[in-house]
Amino acid sequence: MITGLSHVSIVVPNLEEAARELEKKYGLKVGPAQINEQQGVRMAYVELANAKIELMEPLRADSPVGKFLQRNPHGGIHHLSLRVDSVQATVAAIEHKGARVLGDATQKNVHGARIAFVHPHDFLGALVELEEHQN
């Protein structure tokens, strides 16, 4: 189960499709879309216990987000780290729903926490690290 995130913004080509994918594969609920005319984006948020994921869809090709999407047609970011209670249980749950995990769930980071990575194609073009946190 995903329990936390610092903050991340993900550029997507289609807000509704991205929202459906996040709900289907991860059980994440995306809030209502909002428009920021000045930035040239339509956005919606996933509310987590102590953080947010911001999904941004460009309203126009000449906006910064539109230009990013031109260079990265599938959208995305480089990397984000999500906290989970159990990497093994989370990996099993998301693989069951069609997400691909790179490597196995026995890797550890430099702090000794168990980690795994979700394939970028299965999380809106972003490489995601699942990091186990002990309570």
Residues 51-61 pLDDT 10s: 878 898 999 99
pLDDT at 111: 64
Confidence of residue 110 (pLDDT cuts 50, 70, 90): low
Question: Average of pLDDT values for 104-132?
Answer: 86
Which residues have a Cβ under 8 Å from the Cβ of 90 and sit 6 or more positions away?
1, 2, 84, 116, 130
User: pTM to 2 decimals?
Assistant: 0.71
Would strands 114-118 and 2-5 be described as parallel, antiparallel, or unpaired? unpaired
In the residue annotation, 47 being an active-site residue is answered as no
Active-site residue (options: 57, 129, 131, 132):
129
Task: Spell out the domain ranges in the chain.
Answer: 2-132
Look at residue 119 and tell me whether its pLDDT is greater than 90: yes
Q: In the CATH scheme, what is the code of domain 2-132? A: 3.10.180.10
Write out the H or E segment, with its range, that includes residue 16. Answer: helix 15-26
| End-to-end Cα distance, the chain | 13
Look at residue 6 and tell me whether its pLDDT is greater than 70: no
Query: What's the rounded Cα separation, in Å, for the pair 105 and 116?
Result: 5
